Amino acid sequence: MASNYRHKGELEQAELTYRERLKLRPEDPDVYYELGNVLQEKELFHEAADCYRQAIRLHPDFAQAHNRLGNISGKKGDVKEAIAFYQKAVQLDPNLAEAWNNLGSLAQAKGRLDEARKYFRKAARIKPGDYQHHKNLVFSMLYNPRCDAQGIYSEHLRLAKRFEKPLLRTLIPHTNKKTVDRKLRIGYVSPDFRRHSVAYFIEPALSSHNREQFEIFCYSTSASEDEVTHRIQGSADHWKNISGMQEENAADLIRNDTIDILVDLAGHTHNGRLQLFALKPAPVQARWIGYPATTGFSSIEYKIVDGFTDPPGEGERFYTERLVRLPESFLCYLPERDSPEVGDLPALGNEEITFGSFNEFAKTTPAVIKVWASILKRIPNSFLILKAISFKDVSICRSVKEMFARHGIGLDQIELLPFTASFREHLNLYNQIDIGLDPFPYNGTTTTCEALWMGVPVITLEGNRHASRVGVSLLSNIGLSELVAKLEQEYVEKAVDLANDLGRLKSLRGRLRDMMARSPLMNAKGFALNLEDCYRRMWEAWCKKKEPVKKGLR
């Protein structure tokens, strides 16, 4: 009964039921464990930890309780303690896939990408039917410079073979009217219709769609909602939360809505629902923002990109999707409404050059640290400010500074920031930065847009796949392609040259926001027209195509 309450989201009733059960069985470690799980879902972490400790007191070899304590330590930002709990868990139960997966997540947060991949792969081998472990594995490979395009592509194909192929047997034909020029129903599926990086790019597109030609449906796969969610709800004709629905039920809902084109905005990220797409609830299915690689899923026919992120050529063979290139940018950016004003160039006031990068630390590979250290050594009185959620942990901060120290960078040249009290404060930190540095091979996206909006030019390195070419697209679309380097040494030289030209830096500081506002990157109406033209071409192609023979019923 208590577990039923929990699965239905009735956490108060679940807690009461478990507490009543404890009165009858006060020495039962399983009841303490289950109560701890409910309390953790309620974000009562201190009380949850007490329950897990009681479970361990009664059953010292309770591996899952150690694993859950590790989760709570991670929430507190104590990575060292979390790792100790996870290691104890796998020592007690080497087949506890969740603990291996959690060790992988922490290794990734610390920038230990080879280690992370090893742990994720182990979790996936122990639980081959667990999609989450496989998703974490393929996603971690996008950060790792040791993983080439072929290796990443092959791993995505293996994932699709395991988790998409069994569902393809259940496909049934679609009954959508094959009229080329009729009003189309577009469905967007995402867990990120909230304050999240994806929202800055989906919101302007939604609000600019031509409602005479397109009817917009949003399918949210997350229970979390905030003020951004409510704005996005107002930009959609129909809003449906499918976070608690089974894939088959969600697919039936979408099919009954007679969606013509279904667009995924998450890929293999947290709360992504690609298995829903495998059931083919819409006749045309596409991928857009939210995941910078192929899905490997044959049920998704298209991926929307641009000519900068994916120039025509050899790279197309690493996609199962057909690439559809927008004529300008594949993104349209909507800045934070409460953005602070752009401040004066910091270097003019303190006679120091401050570089910065506010990207997830997993993107800061050893090669990136080496290049950034080379820049700092070339510029006297230079500093680097890094901001990432990982830096709430003292041990990670110490490790990062030691990595820079090995390249001859003083501890006082590196400042590591974890959180800000508000998003406005986060943006205001860019007023301390003279030049932004883009990581590689996984470029920034939202962070680069934020920097440019706040008057901070960004140096990027052009790579050979989508994730490492987003910086090329952003800078080219606002007219700053001269800040794109093709080689690491060129990256260093461009950063050094810009740092030594305060006149140019001051000029860019004053012009960048206007350059962005006038560029394709923020032309919402023009972007929506380009996107809608893509949808029309996709739809026309389907209308000319014969539907497959019925393969079975669900």
Taking residue 435's Cβ as centre, other Cβ atoms within 10 Å add up to 27
Q: What is the pLDDT of residue 5?
A: 59
Q: What is the pLDDT of residue 7?
A: 63
Whether omega for the bond prior to residue 457 falls within 30 degrees of 0, making it cis, is no
Q: What is the dihedral of CA 114, 115, 119, 120, to 10 degrees?
A: -40
User: What is the arrangement of strands in the sheet containing 214-220, beginning at the earlier edge strand?
Assistant: 238-241, 214-220, 184-190, 261-264, 284-287, 302-306, 322-326
Q: Report residue 457 CA to chain centroid gap.
A: 23
Residue-range domains of the chain with CATH: 2-151 (1.25.40.10), 168-332+526-543 (3.40.50.11380), 346-521 (3.40.50.2000)
Q: What is the pLDDT of residue 314?
A: 76
Q: Report residue 201 CA to chain centroid gap.
A: 13
d(CA 458, CA 475) in angstroms, rounded, equals 8
Instruction: Provide the token pair at 496.
Output: 């050094």
Residue 86, amino acid: Y
Q: What's the per-residue H, E or C state across 111-179?
A: CCHHHHHHHHHHHHHHCCCCHHHHHHHHHHHHHCCCCCHHHHHHHHHHHHHHHCHHHHCCCCCCCCCCC
Intra-chain end-to-end CA distance of the chain, in Å = 29
DSSP string, 177-201: ---TTSPEEEEEEES-SSSSTTHHH
What does residue 187 show for φ and ψ, rounded to 5 degrees? -115, 130
Instruction: Provide the token pair at 375.
Output: 């820049």
pLDDT in tens, the chain (554 residues): 667 656 666 788 888 888 989 999 999 999 999 999 999 988 899 999 999 999 999 999 999 999 999 999 998 888 899 999 999 999 999 999 999 999 999 999 889 999 999 999 999 999 999 999 999 999 999 999 999 999 999 999 999 999 999 998 767 889 999 999 999 999 999 999 998 999 999 999 999 999 999 999 999 999 888 999 999 999 999 999 999 899 999 999 999 999 999 999 999 998 899 999 999 999 999 999 999 999 999 999 999 999 999 999 878 999 999 999 999 999 999 999 889 999 999 999 988 999 999 999 999 999 999 999 999 999 999 999 999 999 998 889 999 999 999 999 999 999 999 988 899 999 999 999 999 999 999 999 999 999 999 999 999 999 999 999 999 999 999 999 999 999 999 999 999 999 999 999 999 999 999 999 999 999 999 999 999 999 999 999 999 987 554 443 33
Q: What is the pLDDT of residue 419?
A: 83
Instruction: Provide the token pair at 78.
Output: 């104590």
Q: What is the pLDDT of residue 551?
A: 40
d(CA 206, CA 176) in angstroms, rounded, equals 23
Burial class (CB in 10 A: 0-12, 13-18, 19+), 405: middle
Assign 49 to helix, strand or coil. helix
d(CA 214, CA 277) in angstroms, rounded, equals 21
pTM of the entire predicted model? 0.92
